[in-house]
A and B are shown apart, each in its own frame.
Chain A
Amino acid sequence: MSRSVLYDEPGPKTLRRERIASIVVAVLLLALGAYLLAGMINRGLFDDRWLVFIDPPKGQTAFDVWTALLRGLRATLTAAVVAAPTAFIAAFILTTLRASGSSWVGRPVVVLIEFLRGMPVLLMMFFGLLALGLSAFWAVVFGLVLYNAAVMAEILRAGLAALPKGQVEAGTAIGLTRWQTLRIIQFPQVIRLMLPSLISQLVVLLKDSSLGFIVGYPELLRTMQLNYSFFGDRYRFPLFIVVLLIYLIVNLTLSRLAVALQRRTSGIA
């Protein structure tokens, strides 16, 4: 790590002292970790309960457990995959209306965006479920689309604001209409500029799809719960750890992608 603004470039003596302190802290942290681990072993968290993934009880096979979990993951991803493009298209429409230049259209759109951004996703899912009578799946998608459309519209607006003014002026100068300028000149640049933010928002969307657990959509978390209700409470911990790892793998892959893209685009600009 490069030296930060917080302290001076250390000399050889300080470096040595820092290294010793770092090792001491590391040892202390390892001791704490070992203590926690010992406690977990004492509670029997690392006994044969992990066999649920290899040779589960109650006449089930490992295949059954894994397909159940993968089906849960697929349900989670399906909600996200349906919601993400829809939200993106909606965000486009909102941004276009907002940039249309007519305050009769722009104002209500701004109010709508602020309204949607200020509300919990879960409440929108309940709205879909209770007020509109949607199925659990569509209620999840409904909430995800509304909220993320508003957030992505904000991202696109920030991108439009970040473009140099000359871009629009050039479009107007060669006789393009406002819509043509947006479509041909502004949006292609904005999307490239804002791709990292849009992908980070995808991570948020994917994380929010776990709210389906609360509205009764059988996604990954619900599958986990069904599994430990079936196999027994001692299997809660191993199932939880595996589900956590699945989420981390998917989300970290997406986050890394966002960072890599950011590096590439900032290299160009």
Chain B
Amino acid sequence: MLAVIESLPAYLAGFQMTLYLTVVSGILSLLLGTLLAAARVSPLRSLRSVSTFAVELGRNTPLTLVFVFFVFILPGVGIILPLGTLPAIIALTVYTSAFVCEAVRSGINSVGIGQAEAARAIGLGSIGTLRLIVLPQALRTVVPPLISVLIALAKNTSVASGFAVVELTATGRALARDYPADVIWMLLGVAAFYLLITIPAGYAASRIERRVVFSR
């Protein structure tokens, strides 16, 4: 137990890296995922099918395989990324974007078509319909699943520990090696830091979900 307090600086450094990976690839995959979702609901068939293909590919490939691709396969082909956080951020972004796209798309689809028809019936143009009727409703339904996607991302950053990034899980592994007598406490310490991210986020998601429910 004492060893956990002793190694608090190491935990904090690892926690910082986990947060960094989560925030950077979270923002990037929100952007990329929204773009993909826009392509997936666009009237252009070719854009739709490319986006569908990309999302299906992303959702059915294990994250470890994505990591392996950017860390081991691309360099083998001659495209060398600097080792460390960059391949991890790219892999996490590519993987998470597919899930962001699905969340955004189902949010848009959850708005009943009658809503748009009603908006048109009272004389709103297409921009007005989107801005006043469709997007406000879609955004509300999208936020809780998006938070779940981001929680999953925070947990998924642990995969980076297998690919030369020293974040929380890698820190825990190193500490378990350094304090063989306190392995259980060391790993529970790591767990506590993960819960520091995931529990409040999950709480926020369920609160927002409850507040949004009345609109349906």
Contact = CB atoms under 8 A, between A and B. Distances in A.
Interface residues of B, number: 58
B46 A29 contact: yes
B118 to A, nearest CB: 11
Given A45-B77, A114-B199, A123-B158, A5 B111 contact: yes
A213 interface: yes
Contacts of B198: 117-119
B108 A123 contact: no
B184 A213 contact: no
A63 B109 CA distance: 48
A1 B73 CA distance: 37
Most chain B CB within 10 A, of A8, A45, A120, is at A120
A214 interface: yes
Interface in B17-57: 41, 43-48, 50, 56-57
21 contacts: A3-B113, A5-B108, A22-B43, A22-B47, A25-B47, A115-B195, A118-B194, A118-B198, A118-B199, A120-B156, A123-B191, A127-B184, A131-B183, A206-B62, A208-B62, A210-B65, A213-B68, A228-B76, A236-B77, A247-B60, A247-B62
Given A5-B116, A22-B45, A237-B76, 14 more contacts: A5-B113, A6-B108, A8-B120, A18-B44, A22-B43, A115-B191, A118-B151, A118-B155, A118-B194, A119-B198, A207-B62, A210-B63, A214-B64, A247-B60
Interface of A: 1, 3-8, 10, 18, 21-23, 25-26, 29, 40, 43, 45, 114-115, 117-123, 126-127, 130-131, 203, 206-211, 213-214, 221, 224-225, 228, 233-234, 236-237, 240, 243-244, 247-248, 251-252, 255
